[in-house]
Amino acid sequence: MKKSVMVLFVLVVLLMSIPAAGNKEVAVTVPAAPTAGLNASGFPIVAEPVTLKVFGVRDQNTAEWKNVKMLTEYQKLSNVIMDYQEVPTQGYDEKKSLLFASNDLPDVFVRAQLSKVEIAKYGMESGQLIPLNDLLKQYAPNFMALMAKYPTILASITSADGNIYALPELDLSNTGRMGFKQWINKEWLAKLGLKAPTTTDELITVLRAFRDKDPNGNGLKDEIPLGIREASSIYVLGGSFGLDHQMKETINIENGKVHIWLKDAKFKSYLQFLNQLYEEKLLWKDYYKRDLPSWRSNLSNALFGAFYMPYSDVFLKVENQFTGYAPIKGPYGDQLWSDANSGVLAVGAFAISNVCTNPEVAMRWVDYFYSEEGSLFFRYGIENETYTLDANGTPVFVDSILKDPKGFMTALGQINLVPGGGFPQVITNDTDGVVASALTKEVSAMMVPYLPEQVYLQPSFTQEESEEFVTIVQDLYKYRDEAVTKFILGEWKFDKWDEYCATLDKIGIAKLEKLYQQAFDRL
Amino acid sequence: MSKRVWKRVYAKLDLFLLLLIPLAWYVVFKYVPMYGLQIAFRRFNPSLGITASPWVGMRYFSQFFDSYYFWEIIYNTISLSIYQLAIGFPIPIFLALLINEIQHKRLQKTVQNITYIPHFLSVVVVVSMLNLFSNVDYGIFNKFLGVFGFPAADYMAKAQYFQTLFVFSNVWQSMGFNSIIYIAALTAIDSTLYEAATIDGCSRFKKIIHISLPGLLPTILILFIMRMGSLMEIGFEKVLLMQNPINMSSSEIISTFIYKNGIQKGQFSYSAAVGLFNSLINFLLLLFSNTLVKKFTKTSLW
């Protein structure tokens, strides 16, 4: 009898020990001395193959990374074997958070979409990302050259403790100077005898004509006068009301003063303008539903009269129906295009974790993509195989990619990671042509004169600031997004405006402005 | 323990070994993870691990209590739970009584099957059905209500309809399945009682009131207590899927709030604190309802 009790006891102990084993805490490893056989410059990077574990997010148009042509070619060239463990966009945020929380880290993060807050948290606070400053000086001549040429890059990527924990995606081309470009259907305009609008009033007139006069001539009222892709892009016309979009937020910066304009009278009249568009059925009615499939089908069927898109790649087949126009003048005489970029697109495109034993190899691996040559290689691939140079020396993809029956983006996703952007690289006027068609470049040029003089990225917060920032922002921006949508849809009437302002005060808009100002002053 | 107890255990050793499996499940998946709860009181730093992160006391709790959305989330969670309980709990009982009254066996089985088949639809399918049904242009809700002159509206995008849509689609989906246990309990009632009542001249309605319902009562009460214990745990996936920026003011509940802040934004300590608070309320509700039921009847969990 005693025996069987013992058996029971042993069984219980065995079962208990299973979860305990999983909870062992991983010790922090210190990077070892530089890898043997590392070449300071040129290829291969290492004499003997080195394997690095990579974590990142895969765009839906991209093939599995281990099969992407550019990456396999680069592996042969560099002798660095990347063990890709990429995750699809859906559910990526969860996976990223859990990865850091469980401290089960890869060696490097590529196309990682790390935010400023995350860089501060996992870099400055927990030390899971290592500072790259010394590595940059020693092993990243291309990136250092770019920083020397464009001093704003350094300020945008430096954390509050003076360290750099992540490398960005840089877009130094003209098309990259703004996010959304504005497009309008020139065939519809010609048919109705209208000109592209220059003021907000003219815009409304044009949109009403699009709505009522069946410009595509199919006898159906299927035209959608104005397309805005999602709720977060609703500020795209704010520039015409003097509402800039500095630090990629609802912020103006004048004479060194940070101002969140959510309570301004100009913003109220902007919302009233959008509300009018919505009530008159001029604005796409499903804009707030995050319904990308129907957005794309409306675009490729040319059902939108006017809309905002960064590139024409999604509606390439009908792009000739469209043209650009200069930003419109608002009721207060403002004429500004607020969706501007500083050249630094994604701050957290690349990072190295503290478990990586060959950080210098990783640094050399990524630095190549910050050179002209590397940019061409990353974006276009191999000359005479994936692209050819035309008479002007401009790279053009070969027809098998351009005219792939599965679509250009899918074909592109087989050879590189351009679809979706966010890769650590530099994009220049010579290499932006992958997604920017000639027309996109033309449209961008029309808007460049109206960009703000200076564009600031979100500044870096200290640990305490960051904690306070997150606490306020999670309520404030949530409330803002909800309120803005309700005002536009007419769920809330504008007599609620004072209540809305009072709520913003209560959540702490003044404190938030102060936090931004403090961090901005450190730049 | 005395020798006699061990002897009795030994006699049924196979049964006790069988009990070991669910016991192990509880230990592994319910009790062991509880040690991680301490991060609600710590500033969790993954590289230091759970036990070495610095203590911050009640900081994350006060952050939650001071949050602008605190009362809204609590109100949404509680009102949705109570609505769900008030509508969703009694309906399966009525259904079971009705099905039990059907004399024709084939018809009875058919009705039972039809009502419980929706249970096997996935949540995603049900929510996309709701989306299609409430479409302004071709949705069945608008087509139907339009007949009575109601103006077309997107019901999924109206905060005031969120709870009703949620609760009634749940009822539709789960009433049949939830009624199975009651139907089983009804068949266990001694048929001689019904015969005696018939002889005494009882109508069918009287038989339901005086025989079926009292016979069901212990089952109802136990299920009620259990439901109270999980009152604050409403179908998380379904709420999350039904959310959009417009109905957020009535659709944000504690569990979706935890998911967004904890899992998506990586604020593990904060969301652990919110989760602990949620469980605490659940636990208190369970105690309360159990005491209440114990006071009026003899049925209780312990």
For A313-445, strand residue ranges (E) read: 322-324, 344-352, 387-389, 395-397, 426-427
User: Quick one: which of A415, A421, A426, A432 has its CA closest to A374?
Assistant: A426
Closest-CA residue of chain B to A92: B264
pLDDT tens digit string along B199-230?
998 888 899 999 999 999 888 988 888 887 77
Averaged pLDDT of chain B = 88
Give dist(CA A410, CA A388) in Å, integer.
20
Any idea where the domains of chain A sit in the sequence?
A: 50-169+345-376, 181-339+461-521
| Closest by Cβ to A101, choosing from B158, B246, B266 | B266
Task: For residue B264, list chain A residues with Cβ-Cβ distance below 8 A.
Answer: 93-94, 97
Closest-CA residue of chain B to A11: B20
Estimate the share of chain A in helix, then strand, then coil, as percent rounded to the nearest 5.
50, 15, 35
Pairing of strands A304-309, A181-185: antiparallel
pLDDT tens digit string along B133-165?
988 878 888 888 888 888 888 888 888 899 999
Quick count: other Cβ atoms within 10 Å of Cβ A261? 19
User: Quick one: which of A119, A4, A101 has its CA closest to B49?
Assistant: A101
Q: Is A94 on the interface with B (CB under 8 A)?
A: yes
Domain that holds residue B160: 57-296
> How far does B45 lie from chain A, in Å, by closest CA?
6
Phi-psi region of B189 (alpha: psi -120 to 50; beta: other; left: phi over 0): beta
Cα–Cα–Cα angle for A402, A404, A408, rounded to 5 degrees: 55
Closest-CA residue of chain B to A127: B47
Q: Is A489 on the interface with B (CB under 8 A)?
A: yes
Residue B229 lies in a domain: yes
Residue B144 lies in a domain: yes
| Closest by Cβ to A97, choosing from B51, B67, B264 | B264
For A238-295, strand residue ranges (E) read: 251-254, 257-260
Give dist(CA A407, CA A409) in Å, integer.
6
Task: For residue B68, list chain A residues with Cβ-Cβ distance below 8 A.
Answer: 475, 479, 503, 506-507
Count of domains observed in chain B: 1
How sure is the predictor about B249, in pLDDT bands with cuts at 50, 70 and 90?
Answer: confident
Q: How far is CA B259 from CA A93, A347, B27, B138, in A?
A: 11, 25, 24, 33
CATH number of A181-339+461-521: 3.40.190.10
> How far does B236 lie from chain A, in Å, by closest CA?
16
Q: Which residues of B touch A (CB under 8 A)?
A: 6, 10, 13, 16-17, 20, 24, 27-28, 32-33, 44-52, 63, 67-69, 136, 157-159, 244-246, 248-249, 261-268
pLDDT tens digit string along A102-151?
889 999 999 999 998 899 889 998 899 999 999 999 999 999 999 999 88
Q: CATH says A50-169+345-376 is which class?
A: alpha beta
* Helices and strands (H, E) in chain B, number of each type: 16, 0
Average pLDDT estimate for B35-61: 88
Q: Is A161 on the interface with B (CB under 8 A)?
A: no
Asked if omega into A19 is within 30° of 0 (cis), the reply is no
Residues of A219-244 as b/e, b for ≥16 C-beta within 10 angstroms? Answer: eeeebbbbbbbebeebbbbbbbbbbb
Residues of chain A with pLDDT under 70: 1-34
What's chain A's Rg over C-alpha atoms? 26
Name the pTM for this structure. 0.80
Q: Is A354 on the interface with B (CB under 8 A)?
A: yes
> How far does B18 lie from chain A, in Å, by closest CA?
11
Closest-CA residue of chain B to A480: B245
Instruction: Assess whether the region A50-169+345-376 and the region A181-339+461-521 belong to the same CATH fold.
Output: yes
Residue B38 lies in a domain: no
Residue B173 lies in a domain: yes
Q: Are A157 and A133 in contact (CB under 8 A)?
A: no
Residue B105 lies in a domain: yes
Give dist(CA B127, CA B259) in Å, integer.
19
User: Is B20–A94 a contact, with Cβ atoms under 8 angstroms apart?
Assistant: no
Closest-CA residue of chain A to B17: A8
Average pLDDT estimate for B113-137: 90
Strand, coil or helix: what is A323?
Answer: strand
Which residues partner with A307 through β-bridges?
Answer: A183, A227
User: Is B32–A19 a contact, with Cβ atoms under 8 angstroms apart?
Assistant: yes
Eight-state DSSP code of residue A45: S
Q: Are A112 and A57 in contact (CB under 8 A)?
A: yes
Residue B91: its pLDDT value, please?
94
Residue B206 lies in a domain: yes
For A296-342, strand residue ranges (E) read: 304-309, 322-324
| CATH number of the domain bearing residue B109 | 1.10.3720.10
**Cβ-proximal residues to A312 (8 Å cutoff; 6+ apart), any chain:** A183, A319, A322, A437, A439, A440
User: Is A93–B48 a contact, with Cβ atoms under 8 angstroms apart?
Assistant: no
Q: Are A409 and A417 in contact (CB under 8 A)?
A: no
